[in-house]
Structure 1
């Protein structure tokens, strides 16, 4: 799946030379504790006889852009190099031929707003234009989920593109339509890939659902498989329609209750005003009228002016 991400969205020659068998998942996170609630990372090592490359993908879990991204990437990259240096025998790392592996940094972002952070590290340095030949710099890959067009993602016809398509900002009623456009892609997924997709789909759909509907969606998604995609989409469509209908009925009921309350309050106010008018005609003092009706001095004075006119 990681290789699919790279090959789908990165248009560089070196991508075609990567083979899935050469990629090794590094089972460790380098995200600093200060940022652990708003981001996660995925690290892969490309191991070949003539090269050793590290791919570092930062997953931005917040909806807004963090302009410190280039700096944070640098911290994580240095942490990886430091670990490699410390784990290399002293004689080897002090030799003339010792080289640190290149790290390809990348950011995957699915926030609704456009990505406006600097794409290269040097842009974070003051007056970098004056000293460009002497400054540390790197440019990271950006996977901005909402930047890709619907046509582009459908044309890619793979799991990653499908996930991106459904992860984009959209109205709830658009979800079923997009799933229908992906039906052909989903049918071609392996059972393992399809299970990954279902797990992700649950995380997207369920938080927007009331508890009883969430359990219902869990039930039919767990029983879904690639060769019955249309049935899964149909069940999801029915559940969404049922939820919308329930929300509509609830809204109408709340509107009726609110209308009745407003009517009662309005009637009570009119009665208080009528009592105040009668007391004013009897020349009762304002303090007594306030206590008898609950109206304020300004309201009673306004009623007095009406009677005088």
Structure 2
């Protein structure tokens, strides 16, 4: 028996939404353990075709969606299917990253939340540093010793010396 495959693609409209049923007929005498990856590639090609055959104006609107694809593999072998059954199983462990791979929306939300949190933290740090610098300037204007200003503010001697130079100019 020669290595062959056949694709059957059905498009069905369910409640106003296109759903594509992608059926891959595997007529191979040996099992292909890269099948989850191959199936993913075929699905991307179906999406690419759907995207390219959609008018640009429609593709660019906010509500544009690619059709759902329901993949199915019909495999004909006496030994049965022993390869991985999902693309996720084809990926290396650990699966903590699974959510990032399969759900970009959640990943983007988490990145935005983290950026806001880090931004707030950075703002607080910058505010504290600004406060120390202003305190150091005031202390230097009052004639306090550089070492005393360093101990009070926690700023480095180098920073306090630079501040002193800017005040003298």
| Range of TM-score over shorter length | 0.5 to 0.7
Partner SS for 1:307: helix
Aligned partners of 2:146 and 2:160 also within 8 Å: yes
Counterpart mapping for 1:217-236 below 5 A: none
Q: Calculate the aligned-residue CA RMSD, in Å.
A: 4.0
Alpha-carbon shift at residue 186 of structure 1 (Å): 5.5
Cα pair distance change 1:180/1:270, threshold 3 Å: closer
Partner SS for 2:90: helix
Supply the distance in 2 between the matched residues of 1:198 and 1:189 (Cα, whole angstroms): 13
| 1:178-228 deviations in Å (ceiling 9; x for gaps) | 346699x96331387773233474531473643886xxxxxxxxxxxxxxx
Work out which structure has the larger RCO, using CA pairs closer than 8 Å and 6 or more positions apart in sequence.
2
Tell me, yes or no, if structure 1 residue 178 matches structure 2 residue 42: yes
| 1:242-301 deviations in Å (ceiling 9; x for gaps) | x22111111111000000000001011111000100111111111110111000000001
Aligned residue pairs: how many? 123
Supply the distance in 2 between the matched residues of 1:287 and 1:177 (Cα, whole angstroms): 66
Judging by fraction of residues, say which structure has more helix.
1
Cα pair distance change 1:161/1:195, threshold 3 Å: closer
Task: Calculate the TM-score normalised by the size of structure 1.
Answer: 0.32
Tell me, yes or no, if structure 1 residue 188 matches structure 2 residue 74: yes
Aligned partners of 1:290 and 1:297 also within 8 Å: yes
Supply the distance in 1 between the matched residues of 2:88 and 2:79 (Cα, whole angstroms): 15
Q: Which residue of 2 aligns with 1:198?
A: 84
Supply the distance in 2 between the matched residues of 1:177 and 1:281 (Cα, whole angstroms): 69
List alignment gaps of at least 5 residues for structure 2: 4-23, 47-68
Judging by fraction of residues, say which structure has more strand.
2
Which of residues 123, 136, 139 is equivalent to 1:279?
A: 139
Which of residues 289, 298, 301 is equivalent to 2:149?
A: 289
Supply the distance in 1 between the matched residues of 2:150 and 2:129 (Cα, whole angstroms): 13
Supply the distance in 1 between the matched residues of 2:161 and 2:143 (Cα, whole angstroms): 13
Aligned partners of 1:279 and 1:289 also within 8 Å: yes
